Chain A
């Protein structure tokens, strides 16, 4: 069976690079499932969870906003954050979420709101992945 080469890179490191059977990812216009032989596609990625199926097993990563390039045999994800589920520190993410939420209640200018929203999205994505299946 054909496989997909999934690559997830952040500016700091190459987080993931393996052959997988299927990938689901949070596109800006909705969740997408990518199988091998998918039509070539470039899209934007919203913060959320990326699901990977490999050898009948599913696992998940939390990602930030970014871009995805899909060719028939490759999925390349370019994002500013990518953490595997097992590496997520739930209490830290929860703390970050609370901090971001409380900051949203303060008086902020536009740029600050955007950055707080981004970090809120990051922590929410992490929490979503971590709490999956509970």
Chain B
């Protein structure tokens, strides 16, 4: 039977924990809003790029580019986009479960975020590079990752590149998903925004006959790497939004649990206190009766 003091101490410590988780929840929810807004801000860009791609592609029917080359090899590179910090529910474990399915010998990982890199190191898989990205991902950060994998692909170190990330569907639902990146097969639009799905959108042509300066091939040639950079940027935004909302939900649950625990402990504490008072009263009256 714990003493009243033990219970008081436990209540205090649970209260402290609740305070911390509550604060983390608040921070995560404000960051989540920002991340979602950032994902939305990329939409006009994506839309414009899609139209442009469609217009250029229509003019270059049998165009081939080193980035579009299909190779028979099995060597694969996976860009693992995880979070830097933990305490965000099952987000990273869901992600690493997917990552663990890849063939150990033929897969190299490129990690964005520390948790993914830790997984790779723990499981003794091949790590090609580790990148970081901020709470508000910058385009430059995406470009660095994209450039690195493009070079690996062009040098023939890997034959295909996939992105494994957590897709943001809603505040309550985030799903780990795999998106093929290289080689670029059919040109698909970038699916922008937070409404999920990596299915791509239909390319809408503006229906005009365009002139190109320089030639269409060269425009497309420089548009493609850019398209890849943007694809990664969008993935980073999605992953960030997922991380923050997952953390917010996890911290909300933790706070709720702590509150419930405090309630239970307070009840137990009061019961014990009452019992002690009754016991003391009983002792006093008995003593009085014995004397009287």
Contact = CB atoms under 8 A, between A and B. Distances in A.
- Co-assembled chains A and B: yes
B168 interface: no
A69 interface: yes
Interface string A30-53: 000000000111111000000000
Interface string B140-176: 0000000100010000000000000000000000000
Interface string A1-42: 000000101111110000000000001110000000001111
A67 B42 contact: no
Given A29-B213, A41-B212, A42-B219, 8 more contacts: A7-B44, A9-B48, A42-B216, A43-B212, A44-B214, A67-B226, A69-B55, A78-B52
Nearest to B142: A11
Nearest to A30: B213
Chain A interface mostly: strand
A71 B206 CA distance: 9
Given A69-B52, A69-B55, A71-B206, A44 B211 contact: no
Interface in B182-218: 206, 208-214, 216, 218
A104 interface: no
Contacts of B216: 42
B269 interface: no
B45 A42 contact: no
B209 A43 contact: no
Contact of B38 (A12, A39, A40, A76): A12
A11 B42 contact: yes
B56 interface: yes
A80 B55 CA distance: 20
A67 B222 CA distance: 9
Given A13-B41, A29-B214, A41-B212, A80 B139 contact: yes
20 contacts: A9-B44, A9-B45, A11-B42, A11-B233, A12-B38, A12-B42, A12-B139, A13-B41, A28-B213, A41-B212, A41-B213, A42-B210, A42-B211, A42-B212, A42-B216, A67-B219, A69-B52, A78-B49, A111-B147, A111-B151
Looking at A42, A44, A71, A111, which has the most chain B CB atoms within 10 Å of its CB? A42
Contacts of A41: 210-213
Nearest to B136: A12
A111 B144 CA distance: 9
Contacts of B218: 44
A39 B209 CA distance: 9
Given A27-B213, A42-B219, A76 B55 contact: no
A80 B147 CA distance: 15
Contact of A78 (B45, B211, B213, B214): B45
